[in-house]
Chains A and B, each alone.
Chain A
Amino acid sequence: MEKTINKEQIRKPENLVYRRTPLLVDVPLSYCPGCGHGTAHRMIMEVIEEMGIQQDTIGIAPVGCSVLAYDFLDIDMQQAAHGRAPALATAIKRLWPDKFVFTYQGDGDLAAIGTAETIHACNRGEHFTMIFVNNGIYGMTGGQMAPTTLPHMRSSTSPYGRDVEIMGFPLKMTELITHLPGTYYVTRQSVHTPANVRKTKKAIRKAFENQKLKKGISFVEIVSNCNSGWKMNAVQANKWMEENMFPFYPLGDLKVDGQIVEKK
């Protein structure tokens, strides 16, 4: 008699290779297929679950693609005006100093309209975590040029490519804040391969753990793709990101435990 295995026999804990953290709300994400935001969300919530700090975490959502992040993350959250997430987080962390507070911002939010709030929160050495998703474009509004758009890169407001003579240069905000005394941990990661996802999760974990030390900002940039804005499919976008974004925005730690990492 042929032996059959039913589903219940397969669904055993020892066979489990992936589980959605219950801290991610079970609703469809508003992100485009292939986008890195969903993975970045998952890494944050896995860290919060593993640290057991759901009851003590307050997140700040920005204006941009992740404006609705509070719909997906099962923690208390506030939605900030465009660019102002670090101002909200500053107040919340100072008023509830034992809570874990993090901001989640895109490149337009953090490095254009919110430049002052970003730099001053970092320079004051606030004790919260900043997650910076950099895809070099304004995704939600339909693919306009961002402060991080690469030279010659096309967008709907740089349709012939970013001409730095006219449009100025991309802003390396992560390098910039590395040199401020108020930042304690600065790193740049990506979520486009399983290996990179693991590194990013480790970085986010460190960035949250650092809040206990009260030694300043922990800042995690995630270089990500925007296949819709870049007009590519997901595979092309990841390849393009490796070939073009990473040389300009190299992955790795920039500052660890308050010490700038010297380039070899």
Chain B
Amino acid sequence: MGELRLMKGNEAIAEAAIRAGCDGYFGYPITPQSEILEYLMAEKPYEKTGMVVLQAESEVASINMVYGGAGAGKMVMTTSSSPGVSLMQEGISYIAGAELPALLVNINRGGPGLGTIQPSQADYWQSTKGGGHGDYHLLVLAPASVQEMSDFVKLGFDLAFKYRNPVIIHSDGAIGQMMEKVVLFDPIPRRTDDEIKKQCPWATVGKTPDRKRSIITSLELDPGKQEQVNLRLQAKYRKMEAEEVRYEEIACDDAEYIFVAFGTSARICQKSIELARAKGYKVGLFRPITLYPFPVNPLRELSTKIKGILVVEMNAGQMIEDVKLAVSCSLKVEHYGRFGGIIPTPEEVTENLISKVIGG
């Protein structure tokens, strides 16, 4: 049994990073996620586990530090919020193209532009559809509690190394800032140099006579070879789609209508279910935990048993496209969103389910 603590979501990410055996964190301050860097600097893990913590000169630098560290076989991460993550997109594309393991965190805030520092889910497309240039996917985890902020750091690193692919924790300012109880997992020692060399024979750790030199690059000028690189990436994404789908169903057994929502919106929908059931409507929640790979098949299966869906997001309607594709538009799918940093109330969510889906 791990240690029970009351923590902010951002603090839980920082503590989980130390406990997961992370080798290096590189970040730049931006609201609403600066507590992660602050927590790490206060904890001084470089004196305890040997984990490197560095405040970079920009998000551009921090993502490229992650690129360098990941190429050298280390367990590295960065965190930021929406405008900062936009700055990182070139580096993220390089990391995906060079097939390196890395953990990224986006504590979403309202946009576009400098937007607002309040919570949002408006970077769904950026996280799930690429974000940077070229055909690539991040593996996207969407926590809905402080507990999952902690758990997904460990899960994220595991998946990143399993697939040699960057993983992003797609969260928002509400979960980053709110405090909840969290059961922290027991600390895992950082890998030794020999363990790293064994686990990552592709890494740049110094060429020894027994092997060819390790080269970390996303460049392949020959289009024939570059197409093969792309085909290899696509095969990896198909494998993720087959094996890494995660989701949660709440009160779906007898449901006639469901919400589809992730993160903070999913938390709100849990209350909206109670409000709707008090009025006599049989309502459930389908919560994608992996936003990519999107839980297409489970949602399609569920959709055959229900009459309608309200997709609830803190954006103008992004995940709804994946929901409609999953159910092949075979039933009514409506959207309710608040944006620009506004968090919807459970009451307005329930009202919109009734007016747009049930009664409409």
Give residues in A with beta carbon < 8 Å to B.
54-58, 60-61, 67-68, 70, 74-81, 84, 87-92, 94-96, 99, 116-117, 120
Contact = CB atoms under 8 A, between A and B. Distances in A.
A58 B71 CA distance: 11
Contacts of A68: 219
24 contacts: A55-B209, A70-B213, A76-B215, A77-B204, A77-B214, A78-B68, A78-B204, A78-B217, A79-B215, A79-B218, A79-B219, A80-B67, A81-B91, A84-B67, A87-B56, A88-B68, A90-B54, A92-B72, A94-B24, A94-B54, A95-B52, A95-B72, A95-B76, A116-B61
Given A80-B68, A81-B64, 20 more contacts: A55-B208, A60-B68, A70-B217, A75-B206, A76-B204, A76-B205, A77-B216, A79-B215, A79-B217, A79-B219, A81-B90, A88-B68, A88-B71, A91-B24, A91-B26, A91-B69, A91-B72, A94-B54, A95-B72, A116-B58
A91 B76 contact: yes
Contacts of B54: 90-91, 94
A74 B64 contact: no
B357 to A, nearest CB: 46
Contact of B207 (A76, A90, A95, A120): A76
Given A75-B207, A76-B206, A116-B58, A90 B213 contact: no
Interface in B46-90: 52, 54, 56-58, 60-62, 64-69, 71-72, 74, 76, 90
Nearest to A116: B57
B94 interface: yes
A73 B176 CA distance: 45
A47 to B, nearest CB: 16
A76 to B, nearest CB: 4
A217 to B, nearest CB: 15
A113 to B, nearest CB: 10
Nearest to B56: A87
B23 interface: yes
A56 to B, nearest CB: 5
Contacts, number: 127
A92 B206 CA distance: 11
Contact of A99 (B91, B206, B208): B206
A90 B24 CA distance: 11
Contacts of B216: 77-79
B95 to A, nearest CB: 10
A81 B72 contact: no
B214 A87 contact: no
Contact of B65 (A67, A90, A96): A90
A94 B204 CA distance: 14
A116 to B, nearest CB: 6
A56 B90 CA distance: 29
B207 A116 contact: no
Interface of B: 23-24, 26, 52, 54, 56-58, 60-62, 64-69, 71-72, 74, 76, 90-91, 94, 98, 203-209, 213-219
Contacts of B74: 91, 95-96
B215 A70 contact: yes
Contacts of A76: 203-207, 213-215
A103 to B, nearest CB: 10
A106 B48 CA distance: 39
B65 A88 contact: yes
Contact of A87 (B24, B65, B209, B218): B65
A120 B64 CA distance: 13
Closest 6 CB pairs of A and B: A88-B68, A87-B64, A76-B204, A79-B217, A91-B65, A84-B64
B128 to A, nearest CB: 23
Nearest to A113: B60
A87 B213 contact: no
Nearest to A76: B204
Contact of A88 (B58, B67, B213): B67
Contacts of A88: 64-65, 67-68, 71
Contacts of A55: 206-209
B57 A117 contact: yes
A88 B203 CA distance: 14
A81 B26 CA distance: 17
A88 B102 CA distance: 14
Contacts of B65: 87-88, 90-91
A80 B76 CA distance: 17
A178 to B, nearest CB: 19
Contacts of B57: 116-117, 120
A190 B204 CA distance: 29
Contacts of A99: 205-206
A80 B65 CA distance: 10
Contacts of A75: 206-207, 213
A102 B52 CA distance: 20
Contacts of B68: 60, 78, 80, 87-92
B93 to A, nearest CB: 9
B122 to A, nearest CB: 26
Contacts of B24: 91, 94-95
Contacts of A91: 24, 26, 52, 54, 64-69, 72, 74, 76
Contact of A56 (B62, B64, B206): B206
B219 A67 contact: yes
